Structure 1
């Protein structure tokens, strides 16, 4: 039976929120909001890949 990998799920949800934030910022015509959402998205996705690599190395995946 598959177990939920909670850290990866949280990173995926945060990445989706960042992508939604880009859309909201565009709708609000906020250039700063778009920039912040893009930077946050890059950071969250990067941390997610880093965590996945570490979990794979430790044999948790």
Structure 2
């Protein structure tokens, strides 16, 4: 696991994630992601296909 890195949020609410962090998570530039709040200051990013698969397995779609 890489060392945590501080990132900022610009005026439009955008963040930039390092290529190393993306690679570690198995996410490639241009990937479609789903974002959701996990409460208490956490935002979770999931690959779209993984999030859909999880929902299908749980019977939510």
Greater helix content: 1
TM-score computed with the length of structure 1 as normaliser = 0.29
Greater strand content: 2
